[in-house]
Amino acid sequence: MSGEFSFVGKRVPKLDAPGKVTGQTFFGHDMKLPRMLYGKILRSPHAHARVARIDVSKARALPGVKAVLTAADIPDIRIGWARDHPILKSDRVRSVRDEVAAVAAVDEETALEALELFEVEYEELPGVFDPEDAMKPGAPLIHADAPNNIQEKMRQSYFHGDVQKGFEESDVVIEDRFRMPFVTHCCMGTSFCLASFSPSADLTIWSSTQMPFLYQRDLSMALGMPASKIRVIKANIGGAFGSKLDMYPFEPICVLLAQKTGRPVRIAFSREEEFVASPTRQPVICDIKSGARKDGTLTARQVSMILDNGAYSSWGATTPLVMMLTISSLYRVPNVKYDVVVAYTNNPYSGAMRGYGNPQATFVVESHLDMLAHELGMDPMELRLRNANQPGDVTGQGVKITTCGLTDCIQKAAESVSWKQKRAKPGNRGVGMASMIHVGGGARIYPSDGCGSTVKVDDFGKVTLISGSTDMGQGADTVMAQIVAEELGVPVENVTVVNTDTDLTPWDVGAHASRTTFVAGNSARLAAADAKRQILEAAAESMGESVEDLDMKEGRIYRKGEPEEWIAFEKTVRGKHFRPDGDVVLARGWYEPPTEKQDKEYRGNISATYGFAAQAVEVEVDTETGEVKVLKIAAAHDVGRAINPMAVEGQIHGGISMGLGYGLYEELVVQEGQVLNPNFADYSLPTALDMPEIDSIIIETDDPAGPFGAKGMAEPACIPTAPAIANAVYDAVGVRIRDLPITSEKVLKALKEKQAKAEEEK
Amino acid sequence: METLTMRLNDEEVALEIMPDALLVDVLRDQLGLIGTKEACGEGECGACTVLLDGQPVTSCLIPALKAQGREVYTVEGLASGGNLHPLQKSFIEHGAVQCGYCTPGMLMSAKALLDRNPHPTEDEIKEAISGNLCRCTGYVKIVEAIKAASSD
Amino acid sequence: MKWEKYIVPASLEEALRILTEYEGQARVIAGGTDLVPQLKKKERKVKCLVDVSRLAELKGIHNQGGVIRIGAGVTHERIAASPLLREMATALAEGAAAVGSPQIRYMGTVGGNIVNAQPAADTAIPLLALGAEAEIVSSGGVRREPLQDLYVRPGVSRVDASAEILVALRFPALHGKRGSAFARLAKRRSLSLPILNAAVVVNLSMDDRLFEDVRLAVGPVALTPFRARKAEEALRGMPVDREAIAQALAIASEEAQPRANPVRGSAEYRREMVQVLLRRALERAVASAQS
């Protein structure tokens, strides 16, 4: 199929790779401006306390310190979607990461020294560290306007059909509780921000943000500055994975320090600070009840979740909006009910993290589906195939499924791990699988889900795509260069991509929901098509032909059917330009996906298309230590079309390593609000030695809405891994672990309980 | 201040440093060699890996004076005369770079490996980069790229 | 400043002289993989660092008439790669190969690891099982101490790194009917601190049927690297069979008193793993002794 394309479907190396392999690329952490100061933040050591007194005098007096800030110096600025998050805390701290003061100094060492000189008097208050406890009467109140510590704005109730009836019609009904912990992004580049004011009070901010335009707006609202005086420029980031999808206190603090000193200020987190102070993945306590008929038809799914909001609200609390898609629409389930309550605690708050709640929801749904299969005495693969979503389905939530390769994904993943031969065999090896659904064509969570692009073609044949989108290292720029090259008809080497500078680029909502290839790609395609039209019209005029008879490919303009007689397109561009009535080639594209915002009952088709995937895993369990070793992961992903198969594979591998970590190794251990393992020694990311054999299977369903058929696929790669592993462990040794991560200790304990039970029953 | 003399990327350099300066800071802040990244400062992630007398070490833990009179290589020393090192070319061709923050450290660990073992097995490659964390790639294409560079 | 002076002495004498001069304000540094993080975090204060990592007296791995001498400045990488140690002190070579990461193994030294005094150090545990003795030099002369005696509690060593230099470690080479092995349990396969480490040295009878001597070292199950002496006693003279081993290891897991660690594992799990790891290391040590 990809034989018809010049650049789509090709393994084009990443455009920014040469700079990165030579060490030439400037990352945010490498940036220095003249007279730049270094900012550091004083954070609360207590999870819950009254702030009785802050004395900054000694800190301010330290030579080299140019400014200090506390809440007393600024208006009461509250950020976050719930506006419950003061950027500097005045009378109360509610979590260990709370920002109490800030300092800007001539170098980092001085700034750190200054932190030790702040004198803060705290009166400790009792804290609450479990969301269920937080909602009980008598629990310490964290925010005065949230009785029982409930974040009422995120209390949600969704349903379609009638689960009561569904359960009555079931032959098998099972109920279980699952728990998912705090894990964190661990971007190799820590959080950072560089703010600089011009003499006319225009702010330029270099940021690692994934959403430059919303960030611009958030800054404007927080600081009371017109957004037109704020320029947000992307710095090269050492990874994002959702962590940079919100604005956090350190960023407006950085701006305020720059304002106060009249000098550029840079704040960069240490690794320990990154672990302690950056947002986590949303932890979830989940109760699920599932029903099915004995022929394997799913009848009902009832889910209720309790979310630990932490001390302040960030995107973590909104993950139910994404989890709802899986709960309502993964497989055909006629009756669904989903209730969520979100409670404040004195724990860290959660943000967006790759998958945005879907890894949690999928862990629950897909573990439970396997448990249903075992109750029914059915092959879990068969149960999935029987209930798989099909193209054309409209789910109970109003989700319109167009292209859908789910069945193919399940079958191919299973085949790759030799499912039929390896399933349900004695010994300590086993296979398990899980599938997933995720938005693949944007996600309308904001009034606009669009992206703007400009394409400029210069007199030498250089094509510049100016896009509102954000490349956070995932390779979106390269994919868009391929799309432009293909649509316009020029070599991909001619294309340069410029993005994330709010002064230059058209609007885009941000890099989230795996929307960049789809939305920004479609936008780029439209702009490229416009540029092609302008060029061919000029060629038609100069050649005395009609536009319909001309085409352009790999930089050559020719009459259709006569490709050997061609003229170089840059000649046409120059000819169009250098004459009295000339013009340059400047094209535009704006793409707004044809989707709906959800109604008050959370129904609506929020994405233009949906991605599907299935991962199958083979594991070996050491029954003496409980250690789980993953031998192989087969990942089959319906991506619509792989514009750059090498980039798609890279996302699959990276996503799997994240899913593997979530399933087996990673946990941010938080006790009484304190992070006990804020370092890489004790927070176990998978290393090269921990990675199993991976078979990446790209399934192409050629989506009509996507650019050249492509759908978003970057988040899906980390979504089914953990449940597939849990299911494989069950197949191997018959124990079901319901709370992540699946540690060797939990497996061993479960094995012993199983053995004890078996002996009792003898 | 103390004088540090070392052979850096095949050139003799001498510079004045604070006695307690760490090698990573001397490289980045004083010599402008920003290719070497610091991602944890505790020797636990490998991003700051450079070669000291041919051996891969985490420069965030190396007192700069430890390098006195010794040979240091950073990622900037890989290319020669404008030609990329086979490892660099291979990383580009095989899609081994995503955000790029771990890349310099990976390249140095890989170079140390190929210098002592020109034809490593896949397991030996994984072992050699087992001290370099990557959050983006899942390591698969990095291993592929190193293997491909080793066959040249 | 983290330190005011960094000196690379040309000889052991010079190193000792500097330590004496600084009257406790200087400290020995080898690889620095434990010391530099501590100094960065201000967990320690020093005025002067004395870099002994290149002194000839601290280098070398030699078999001196059946006694293996390893310089304290030898890196974990050298130990892991040494054909001599792989054959005659397998547990130590295996332990060194398990340390941290390739970078840490290239930098970190066996001596530094001991002076850092952690109860689960990957080379200290095998050295304990091998019955190692440390040679320590100071301005007052030379002393030799059994390795076990150098540990006070986590992070506190009897080697005063501001006045003394650990120069070498010595232990009997394992040959004939002697064998050793190392086993480790960790959350992942690199860059990990251990949940548990174990090293075993066995000395079998000529006909392979009895344990003449056994040493079982394990950590972290106490404030210092631990030898399960009651279990060792229980195995001495016993036949090399599953029953004797199981009984002895049950005693070992009673003797060991691991503490709960919220990040690395509960006390019960670690206690149970003591038996599993020791048994696995024992089986491999026996196999190696028998061949």
Single out the residue in A227, A252, A277 at which a domain terminates: A277
pLDDT tens column, A14-52: 999 999 999 999 999 999 999 999 999 999 999 999 999
How much is the pLDDT for A2? Answer: 44
> Are A687 and C103 contacting, i.e. CB atoms less than 8 angstroms apart?
no
Q: In chain A, what percentage of residues exceed pLDDT 70?
A: 100
pLDDT in tens, chain B (152 residues): 999 999 999 999 999 999 999 999 999 999 999 999 999 999 999 999 999 999 999 999 999 999 999 999 999 999 998 899 999 999 999 999 999 999 999 999 999 999 999 999 999 999 999 999 999 999 999 999 999 999 76
Q: What is the mean pLDDT of chain C?
A: 94
Arithmetic mean of pLDDT, C265-277: 92
Do strands C211-219 and C196-204 pair parallel, antiparallel, or not at all (unpaired)?
antiparallel
Single out the residue in C148, C172, C196 at which a domain terminates: C172
For residues A516 and A658, state if they share a domain. Answer: no
- Write the single-letter amino acid at A128: V
For residues A62 and A203, state if they share a domain. Answer: yes
Question: Would you call the peptide bond into A447 cis, given omega within 30 degrees of 0 as the criterion?
Answer: no
Q: For residue C29, give how far its alpha carbon lies from the nearest alpha carbon of chain A (Å).
A: 22
Arithmetic mean of pLDDT, C222-231: 93
Q: Give the separation between CA A720 and CA A366, rounded to whole angstroms.
A: 8
Q: Is C225 on the interface with A (CB under 8 A)?
A: no
Burial A67-88 (b: 16+ CB within 10 A, else e): bbbbbeebeebebbebebbbbb
Arithmetic mean of pLDDT, A640-669: 97
Neighbour order of strands in the sheet with A156-160: A156-160, A335-344, A298-310, A284-292, A172-180
Arithmetic mean of pLDDT, A371-383: 98
- pLDDT of C189 > 80? The answer is no
For residues A477 and A374, state if they share a domain. Answer: no
Q: What domain range is A38 assigned to?
A: 31-125+190-237+244-277
| Cβ-proximal residues to A383 (8 Å cutoff; 6+ apart), any chain | A292, A296, A369, A372, A373, A376
Q: Please give the structure tokens belonging to residue A368.
A: 């439970």
For residues A422 and A331, state if they share a domain. Answer: yes
Rg (CA), chain A: 27
CA C247 to chain centre: 26
Q: What domain range is C112 assigned to?
A: 56-172
Domain annotation covers residue A468: yes
How much is the pLDDT for B152? Answer: 67
Single out the residue in A568, A591, A614 at which a domain terminates: A591
Please name which of A293, A287, A300, A369 lies closest in space to residue A162, comparing C-alpha atoms.
Answer: A300
Q: With bands split at pLDDT 50, 70 and 90, how would you rate the model's confidence at A649? A: very high
> Are A630 and A725 contacting, i.e. CB atoms less than 8 angstroms apart?
yes
For residues C117 and C157, state if they share a domain. Answer: yes
Phi-psi region of A35 (alpha: psi -120 to 50; beta: other; left: phi over 0): left
Contact B98 A14 (CB under 8 A): yes
Arithmetic mean of pLDDT, A200-206: 96
CATH code for the domain of A394:
3.30.365.10
CATH code for the domain of A260:
3.90.1170.50
Arithmetic mean of pLDDT, C140-161: 95
For residues C84 and C168, state if they share a domain. Answer: yes
What sign results for the dihedral spanned by CA atoms B54, B59, B62, B64? positive
CB-based burial label for B70 (10 Å; 0-12, 13-18, 19+): middle
The residues on B that touch C, with CB distances below 8 Å, are 2, 18-20, 22, 41-46, 49, 55-58, 61-63, 65-66, 68, 109, 127-131, 133
The SS3 assignment for C213 reads strand
Residue C125: in which H helix or E strand, if any? helix C124-129
Q: Which chains touch A (3 or more CB pairs under 8 A)?
A: B, C
For residues A195 and A65, state if they share a domain. Answer: yes
Report how many domains make up chain A.
3
How much is the pLDDT for A350? Answer: 97
Q: Please give the structure tokens belonging to residue B1.
A: 């201040």
pLDDT tens column, A572-587: 999 999 999 999 999 9
Domain annotation covers residue A582: yes
CATH code for the domain of C159:
3.30.465.10
Q: Please give the structure tokens belonging to residue B17.
A: 């440093």
For residues C213 and C275, state if they share a domain. Answer: yes
Domain annotation covers residue A619: yes
Which residue among C49, C101, C107 places its CB closest to the CB of B130?
C101
Contact B101 A655 (CB under 8 A): no
Arithmetic mean of pLDDT, C93-113: 95
Q: Give the separation between CA C210 and CA C182, rounded to whole angstroms.
A: 21
Model ipTM value: 0.98
Domain annotation covers residue A178: no
Phi-psi region of A398 (alpha: psi -120 to 50; beta: other; left: phi over 0): left
Partners of C6 on chain B (C-beta within 8 Å) are: 2, 19-20, 63, 65-66
Contact A185 B127 (CB under 8 A): no
Q: Give the separation between CA B103 and CA A301, rounded to whole angstroms.
A: 45
Q: Please give the structure tokens belonging to residue A297.
A: 């038809």
For residues A38 and A69, state if they share a domain. Answer: yes
Query: How many contacts, defined by CB atoms under 8 Å, are there between B and C?
Result: 81
For residues C110 and C43, state if they share a domain. Answer: no
Q: Give the separation between CA C280 and CA C180, rounded to whole angstroms.
A: 11
Single out the residue in A258, A277, A296 at which a domain terminates: A277
Q: Which residues pair with A434 in a beta bridge?
A: A615
Please name which of A134, A143, A174 lies closest in space to residue A303, comparing C-alpha atoms.
Answer: A174
Contact B131 C101 (CB under 8 A): yes
The residues in A 703-732 lying below 8 A from B, measured between CB atoms, are none
Q: Give the separation between CA A65 and CA A104, rounded to whole angstroms.
A: 6
The residues in C 217-276 lying below 8 A from B, measured between CB atoms, are none
Q: A275 — phi, psi (to 5°)?
A: -70, -40
Q: For residue C143, give how far its alpha carbon lies from the nearest alpha carbon of chain B (Å).
A: 28
Q: Is C269 on the interface with A (CB under 8 A)?
A: yes
Q: Is C22 on the interface with B (CB under 8 A)?
A: no
> Are A515 and A467 contacting, i.e. CB atoms less than 8 angstroms apart?
no
Which residue among C185, C189, C193 places its CB closest to the CB of A682?
C193
Residue C78: in which H helix or E strand, if any? helix C76-81
Q: Give the separation between CA A88 and CA A78, rounded to whole angstroms.
A: 9
For residues A615 and A652, state if they share a domain. Answer: yes
Q: With bands split at pLDDT 50, 70 and 90, how would you rate the model's confidence at A515? A: confident
Q: Is C106 on the interface with B (CB under 8 A)?
A: yes
Q: Is C45 on the interface with B (CB under 8 A)?
A: no
Domain annotation covers residue A147: no
DSSP string of A666-724, one letter each residue: ----EETTEES--STTTS----GGG--EEEEEEE----TTSGGG----TTGGGSSHHHH
Q: Given the structure tokens 């809440």, which residue do they identify?
A: A71
> Are C123 and C108 contacting, i.e. CB atoms less than 8 angstroms apart?
no
Residue A591: in which H helix or E strand, if any? strand A585-591
> Are C271 and C250 contacting, i.e. CB atoms less than 8 angstroms apart?
no
Q: Please give the structure tokens belonging to residue A7.
A: 């650049």
Q: Please give the structure tokens belonging to residue A362.
A: 């999928």
Q: A343 — phi, psi (to 5°)?
A: -125, 135
pLDDT tens column, A55-112: 999 999 999 999 999 999 999 999 999 999 999 999 999 999 999 999 999 999 999 9
Q: For residue B69, give how far its alpha carbon lies from the nearest alpha carbon of chain A (Å).
A: 25
Contact C269 A669 (CB under 8 A): no
For residues A380 and A498, state if they share a domain. Answer: no
The SS3 assignment for A276 reads helix
How much is the pLDDT for A1? Answer: 40
For residues C44 and C133, state if they share a domain. Answer: no
Neighbour order of strands in the sheet with C48-51: C5-7, C48-51, C26-29
For residues A378 and A455, state if they share a domain. Answer: no
For residues A540 and A637, state if they share a domain. Answer: no
Please name which of A471, A414, A404 lies closest in space to residue A610, comparing C-alpha atoms.
Answer: A404
Domains of chain B by start residue, with CATH: 2-76 (3.10.20.30), 86-151 (1.10.150.120)
Partners of A744 on chain C (C-beta within 8 Å) are: 185, 269
CATH code for the domain of C203:
3.30.390.50
For residues A302 and A323, state if they share a domain. Answer: yes
Arithmetic mean of pLDDT, A297-315: 97
Q: Given the structure tokens 């959702």, which residue do they identify?
A: A242
Contact C192 A681 (CB under 8 A): yes
For residues C23 and C77, state if they share a domain. Answer: no
> Are A480 and A524 contacting, i.e. CB atoms less than 8 angstroms apart?
yes
Contact B98 A473 (CB under 8 A): yes
Q: In chain C, what percentage of residues exceed pLDDT 70?
A: 100
Neighbour order of strands in the sheet with C141-146: C61-64, C67-71, C164-172, C133-138, C141-146
- pLDDT of A3 > 70? The answer is no
What sign results for the dihedral spanned by CA atoms C257, C262, C264, C266? positive
Single out the residue in C153, C172, C191 at which a domain terminates: C172
Q: Given the structure tokens 């001597």, which residue do they identify?
A: C213
Q: Give the separation between CA A311 and CA A349, rounded to whole angstroms.
A: 6
Q: Is C42 on the interface with A (CB under 8 A)?
A: no
The SS3 assignment for C203 reads strand
The residues in A 169-198 lying below 8 A from B, measured between CB atoms, are 185-190
Report how many domains make up chain C.
3
Domain annotation covers residue A163: no
Q: Please give the structure tokens belonging to residue A235.
A: 């710095």
Contact A475 B44 (CB under 8 A): no
For residues A519 and A667, state if they share a domain. Answer: no
